[in-house]
Amino acid sequence: MLPRTQYLNKLIQKKDNGRVKIITGLRRSGKSVLLFHLYKAYLLETGISSSQIIELSLDVPANARYRNPIELDKHIREQITDAGKRYYVFIDEIQFVSAIQNPYCEGADAKITFIDVVLGLMQIDHVDVYVTGSNSKMLSTDILTQFRDRGDEIRVYPLSFAEFYNAFEGDERGAWQEYYTYGGMPVILSLDSHEEKSRYLRALFDRTYLKDVVERNRISNNEDVLSVLLDILASGIGSLTNPNKISNTFLSDRHISIASDTIDRYLGYFMNAFLIQKAERYDVKGRKYIKTPSKYYYSDPGLRNARLNFRQLEETHLMENVLYNDLVRRGFDVDVGVVETSTKDANDKKVRKQLEVDFVVNRGYDRFYIQSALSIADPEKKAQETESLRRIPDSFKKIVVVKDYLKPFRDDIGIVYVGVEQFLLDESLLS
């Protein structure tokens, strides 16, 4: 069982803080294991008895009765028997709880939901509440709003490269090739062949993720469009796009007419389900956001590759996707940088040019500029990859991450160069 130290520590830090802990993230990324195995083991090791831990998995048919919120509330309260002890309530797949009519009130809005159950449990001084749920009906934005700022979200991501490497039987280069191909869904480490891994990842899409999005958003006749949209995004990771451009692609490549507003709504569904993430563009010199176009990245590279049947394994784009995911996982705010500069064309006429910085990375008062480059062995290529960084007028740290292994070094103008494995394994590089 993988330790998932980052998330376990977050739960430990938030223990007994008077707020409900809401564990969210991509399905099959390890939320239930984190709570029911890793965190439970921690509680037992610190002296909490098993009788103080109340566990309930609502996706089990034997517990179907407790999908009624009144029955759920009654069942849990019956186990809170000693006012002198602290109890820890774990509810898995809480979205299975149905909203029912309040028997004491009339009207369509008089409903009792799991939100009422959890908020009620939080009023008991010696109870600490933890919930998980599938993304189809339990999204972080929905839940945190309904808990009225009385909940703490712990977002769980697929395995980082560092977590993957620690469990991988092989060297860093072998781990990297495996990771950017099959990604970090925990089950992948237990599968041996390409066929097994490919089948598992494709089944996740067809039977879990797409099904979730369709059911939650009540999409009845556009499932094929959703599938095509995922393919378009998978083919274009690292490329600037917007709903209007994607709509044009549907029309020109697939002969499907679909409005850009519909595309925008579907993109929102995928982001809410944690399948994709959006990076906004930021004008570094102008210090402002550029509304469109943006970039979209898959939350797991293996899922992206499975969408395309492992046909387009361009390491340069996959490396950019992995770096974006890892920076977000570390808690940074990540944008795509734009640096405007002036140059002259062949006729010696002054023209404006926009240079791209792959990532503008912020956390508090810290900022880093990061460029992802497959190679800088050729001087011309190195100059091209670093031009945007050299044009940035401030003194924040600038880093070029390359595919090749190399010991981190700093050039004469202060730009740091590091290999991708080293960057992903050593978080102190951003400190």
Domain count, the chain: 2
- Between helix 210-217 and helix 223-235 the angle, nearest 10°, is 130
pLDDT in tens, 200-225: 999 998 888 998 899 888 898 888 99
* DSSP string across 3-45: --HHHHHHHHHHTTSSSEEEEEESTTSSHHHIIIIIIHHHHHH
- Examine the domain organization and report whether 186 and 320 are in the same domain: yes
Contact 181, 157 (CB under 8 A): no
| Domain edge (last residue) among 138, 156, 174 | 156
- Examine the domain organization and report whether 51 and 125 are in the same domain: yes
| Amino acid present at 394 | D
| Residue 116 in tokens | 């009422």
- Examine the domain organization and report whether 235 and 283 are in the same domain: yes
Alpha carbon separation from 262 to 22, 141, 227, 249 (Å, rounded): 30, 21, 14, 14
Round to whole Å and give the CA distance between 154 and 136: 17
The more confident residue out of 27 and 75 is: 75
| Amino acid present at 355 | L
Range of the structural domain that residue 215 is part of: 159-431
- Examine the domain organization and report whether 150 and 39 are in the same domain: yes
Q: Is 43 a residue whose pLDDT tops 60?
A: yes
First to last CA, the chain: 30
- Examine the domain organization and report whether 152 and 168 are in the same domain: no
- Examine the domain organization and report whether 245 and 98 are in the same domain: no
- In sequence order, what are the residues at sequence separation of 6 or more whose Cβ sits closer than 8 angstroms to the Cβ of residue 320? 237, 238, 297, 358, 372
Percentages of the chain per state (helix, strand, coil), in multiples of 5: 45, 25, 30
- 293 prior amide bond cis, ω within 30: yes
- Examine the domain organization and report whether 283 and 218 are in the same domain: yes
The pLDDT value recorded for residue 144 is: 62
371 pLDDT band, cuts 50/70/90, is very high
- Examine the domain organization and report whether 321 and 399 are in the same domain: yes
Task: Output the average pLDDT for the chain.
Answer: 92
| Domain edge (last residue) among 109, 126, 156 | 156
Share of the chain above pLDDT 70, in %: 97
Round to whole Å and give the CA distance between 311 and 313: 6
- Between helix 69-79 and helix 114-122 the angle, nearest 10°, is 30
The more confident residue out of 220 and 192 is: 192
| Helix, strand, or coil (residue 344) | strand
pLDDT in tens, 232-285: 999 999 899 999 999 999 999 989 999 999 999 999 999 988 999 999 999 999
- Examine the domain organization and report whether 150 and 164 are in the same domain: no
Give the CATH number for residue 32.
3.40.50.300
* DSSP string across 308-330: TTT----HHHHHHHHHHHHHHHT
| Domain edge (last residue) among 156, 176, 197 | 156
User: Look-up: residue for tokens 């009023």?
Assistant: 123
Share of the chain above pLDDT 90, in %: 76
- Examine the domain organization and report whether 245 and 349 are in the same domain: yes
150 pLDDT band, cuts 50/70/90, is confident
Mean pLDDT on 332-357: 88
Look at the chain and count its residues: 431
- In sequence order, what are the residues at sequence separation of 6 or more whose Cβ sits closer than 8 angstroms to the Cβ of residue 330? 427, 430
* DSSP string across 353-401: EEEEEEEEEEETTEEEEEEEES---SHHHHHHHHHHHHT--S-SEEEEE
The pLDDT value recorded for residue 133 is: 78
The pLDDT value recorded for residue 137 is: 56
| Amino acid present at 320 | E
- Examine the domain organization and report whether 146 and 125 are in the same domain: yes
Candidates 44, 47, 45; CA nearest to 55 is 44
Q: Is 135 a residue whose pLDDT tops 70?
A: no
- Examine the domain organization and report whether 110 and 257 are in the same domain: no
Mean pLDDT on 131-155: 72
- Number of neighbours of residue 308 by Cβ within 10 angstroms: 13
Element (H, E) at 55: strand 53-57
